[in-house]
Amino acid sequence: MYSLVRLQLFLASFFVKNIEILCLKIQKWFITYLGVLAVLSCVIIPKEVNCASQSKDGTIEFGLINMNLRKNIADDILTTAEYWVYRSNEMDQFRFCSGRHFFAANRIYPEFFVCPHAFSFFNHEPLHIFKVDYINDWKIKFRVLNDHIYENSNTPFLFHGSFDVPYPLFSIFAGYMSCDPVVLSENLSYEVFYKLIKILDLLRPISSESLNKFYSSLYKNGLMNSIVFADIVNDAHNYRTRYFNQTRPQEAFMYFFGVLNPSLDACFIPNIFVVSIFRKRNQCIDQCFRYTEEIQNLVLKISADSLELLMATPSFNMAIFNWLLLITKISGFYFDNTECSFNPIKCPNVCGFIKINVPKKSPNSLKAVSSTFLLNLSDVNKRRIAHLRFINVDFCFDKIQNIFKENNVSYFEVAYCSVDECHKITEFLLKTTEQNIFKLRSVEMKPDDVDRILRSKVRILVLDTCTICKDTVWTPNKSPDFEYEIIHYLQTLNVSSSKLPSDLMQLLLHSFNLENLNISCFEFLPANSSSSMIGLKRKWNCLQIDKYIPSDYLKNLLKEYSVYSLSLNLSDNSLTVDFLAIIDNFKNLKRLNLSASLPLSIYSPSNYRFFATLRDLDVSRNNITSTNFEFLACFTSLRSLNISESKIEKGLFTKMLTVELIASLVSLDLSGVHLEFSDFKRFLPCKKLKCLYFKVANDRSLSYYVDILVFTAIKKSLNVLNVEIDRNISIDDLVSLNGLSNLSEVKIICNAFLLVGEENLIKFDFFNPEFRLELCLRHYNLDMYTIEILKEMFKNYSFSIISE
């Protein structure tokens, strides 16, 4: 496969008229070549899969400093010191001093010391060399050491910075790396505990089961050691603050979350700032804790079942847990009935419509979350709470009233929980001055609850599937000198699937800073007082009306008062052709979502304004036939087009994707769409295409399609690739990705993985150092040997294998 990649790079410089014919010829020649090679290999070489070649032999020489070395070592050994470090004064840091150092005439005196740079003997220290078979003996791999081996440096590895690593300390660390039973059986001192974590932090570890075992040993020999426990937690000598830079203090301690219970693991989900504790499962993941750098407010997510398991752990110590929450800067909690077991590569809507993970009501009985957990937090951790979410759990909100007296919770959400009276929740709004986000789902409110919401300073308000209690009437305060606080702060309003009075909605819609509105499946109830929409006309950033319920109020809102909206979401509606004229009335519209809403018949579409002005169009989940495809072909300057999960009549895709669209498209989503090979070839000339989602036909391998992409202009621009295939993939399919070096994210959904391939696994060298690969297997069939090979292939990148 590597030879094919090299051949592609050579041929890519030539003008190619027929890509498919050329690739078929290449593959025919290459298959013949592999056939001959396979016959020879069966006779001469046993069949196996070779990992990427390592520079040297995988051995690393660590150059360590021993400040007492000159005093305690024999002169003849001092004369044989091969490597030296130098510093100008005692306040300076040691630097590697290159060249040969020796004592003239073999006289071991300072004045006879020869440095090629003429530095004094008293400014030097000899390095004590500690040799390690890194590849074979160390179970944990490190990004820094992987780079050192790849560079094939002739110098020893040095720990740079102000943290000096002496020989005895590194001996203990090496014992942990090689799982030396003698070293692992000894308790750690307070100082050594922090220093071992610091060495690990400097080397930047790669997530693995062995890394979890390392932290499990630290937990047992350090934190669970009654002799040093108090010193570690109280940090009397400030080892943690001295050894760990304050801009990145959390990462090295995050791994303790994964060893609190043998049945639990943990990971970080960067896009939502959540540290998730979950039950272990069959998977190989990147725990992503390195992305916690410079994040000040993290949320701990744990399901009700996992929390119960954690608190029932015999070795669970709330004092240790409070220490861990404090040093990792956890400032919120998220309790629900789901398990987030890895950091998924999100496939956002290419048209920019945010896929909000709206909680779904659980059909099962609610699991209780003990209030004891929050009540047993230390005072400092209680004061840090700024984020609380309760989804599909049974929780007693009365018992945590005191928490809100000591802090400012800025995010509060309750969805599908057992709430007898809504006032237990809305009263929290009056106890905090920093309430930015407030979300209620499936709650009946009383007039007092509505008033508390209106008197708050909430910026994002979600009232999903909410209504006002029967037999109660809410009326607004219309005193001339009275004004509700919320109208000065509200920026986003979501009342989807709710039933609320029109006068309440009119009051909220008059908020001065309101930019985003979601009234999907919303029912305007009759107003309880006179009201007016005068002054309501505004420029919405986003207006979402999925499954709209017709009403005069909504009709006026669309025709008269929302024409300056930038984004319009009309998904899951039964629209007629006439409705397109209403859409065209939105003069500034840049983004339109007609998912599952495209009219079935649009013959000879009119010259709508939005054909030229629209930039992002979502027509996913539609039936595209000869009666409506011309509508799509009329757009001239789209940047993003989403046709995912649509049924396209044969032969129409090439007609839809016009020359104008080929020239303008930056993102294209064809997920779940059956493509003929001619359809696939149609978007290859898209020179600006950065984001591509598509489904591979079953008659060809993934590498077949990737190899073709390498020949096209897409190669230089493609940044995000999401591919689904209804068959197995092999190593050759993964190796083919190396030809698309500009990639930053790749997600592959397939049946299973086959360890097939005899070529050397080349080192992947993507331009983006944060490249991520996620392999989703419908049938998880990997053993440890295969996992280690795959991890070796992508050792310097984020790589996860999960069961779909």
Comparison of pLDDT for 479 and 515, the residue scoring more: 515
Q: Residue 704 — very low, low, confident or very high, per pLDDT cuts 50/70/90? A: very high
Of the two residues 336 and 19, the one the predictor is more confident about is 336
Q: Where are the domains of the chain?
A: 59-336
Per-residue model confidence (pLDDT) at position 184: 87
Q: Reduced to 3 DSSP states, what percent helix, strand and coil does the chain have, rounded to the nearest 5?
A: 35, 20, 45
Residue 282's pLDDT band, with cuts at 50, 70 and 90, is confident
User: Would you place residue 561 in the very low, low, confident or very high pLDDT band (cuts 50, 70, 90)?
Assistant: low
Of 729, 745, 751, nearest in space to 800 by CA:
745
Name the average pLDDT for the chain. Answer: 83
- Dist CA 659 CA 472 (whole Å): 60
Residue among 306, 307, 288 nearest 298 (CA): 288
159-202 pLDDT, tens digit per residue, is 876 677 888 899 999 999 988 889 988 999 999 999 999 999 99
Residue 249's pLDDT is what?
56
DSSP for 54-115, written as a single string: PSTTSEEEEEEE-TTHHHHS-HHHHTT---EEE-SSTTSPPEEE-S--EEGGG--SGGGEE-
Positive or negative: CA dihedral 671, 673, 674, 675: negative
pLDDT at 14 over 50: no
How confident is the model over 399-416, as a mean pLDDT? Answer: 80
- pLDDT of 499 higher than 60: yes
Q: What percent of the chain has pLDDT over 90?
A: 40
Determine the average pLDDT of the residues in 316-324: 92
Distance CA 548, CA 324 (A): 48
> pLDDT tens across 23-79, in order?
444 444 443 443 333 333 333 333 223 223 344 578 899 988 765 555 566 666 677
Confidence bin at 563 (pLDDT 50/70/90): low
HEC string for 361-417: CCCCCCEECCCHHHHCCCHHHHHHCCEEEEECEECCHHHHCCHHHHCCCCEEEEECC
Q: Using CA atoms, how far apart are residues 266 and 303, in angstroms rounded to an integer?
A: 12
Q: Please answer whether residues 506 and 539 qualify as being in contact, where contact means their C-beta atoms are separated by less than 8 angstroms.
A: no
Q: Which pLDDT score is estimated for 353?
A: 64
pTM of the entire predicted model: 0.81
Q: Give me the mean pLDDT over the 608-626 stretch.
A: 93
pLDDT value at 438 more than 60: yes
Confidence at 341, pLDDT banded by 50, 70, 90: confident
- The yes-or-no verdict on residue 634 having pLDDT over 80 is yes
Q: Give the residue from 538, 539, 533, 535 showing the smallest Cα distance to 556.
A: 533
For residue 83, what pLDDT is reported? Answer: 87
Helix (H) or strand (E) holding 9: helix 2-11
Say what the pLDDT of residue 26 is: 45
pLDDT-derived band at 553 (thresholds 50, 70, 90) equals confident
Of 118-122, 276-280, 290-294, the one with minimum mean pLDDT is 290-294
Q: Give the range among 15-29, 444-458, 459-473, 576-590 with minimum mean pLDDT.
A: 15-29
Most trustworthy range by pLDDT among 63-77, 291-305, 353-367 = 291-305
Query: In the chain, pLDDT over 70 holds for what percent of residues?
Result: 86
How much is the pLDDT for 205?
92
Band the pLDDT of 619: cuts 50, 70, 90: very high
Q: Do 459 and 485 form a contact (C-beta atoms < 8 A)?
A: no
Is a pLDDT exceeding 90 seen at residue 440? yes
- Tell me what the mean pLDDT of segment 79-88 comes to: 85
Tokens 């003069």 sit at which residue? 587
Distance CA 251, CA 249 (A): 6
Q: Say how many residues make up the chain.
A: 804
Lowest mean pLDDT of 368-372, 429-433, 436-440, name the range: 429-433
Say what angle helices 2-11 and 19-44 make with each other, to 10 degrees. 150
CB 686 within 8 A of CB 657: no
User: pLDDT: is 595 or 363 the higher one?
Assistant: 595
DSSP 456: S
Q: How many CB atoms lie within 10 A of CB 616?
A: 22
The answer on pLDDT for 588 being more than 90 is no
680-702 pLDDT per residue, tens? 999 999 999 999 999 988 778 99
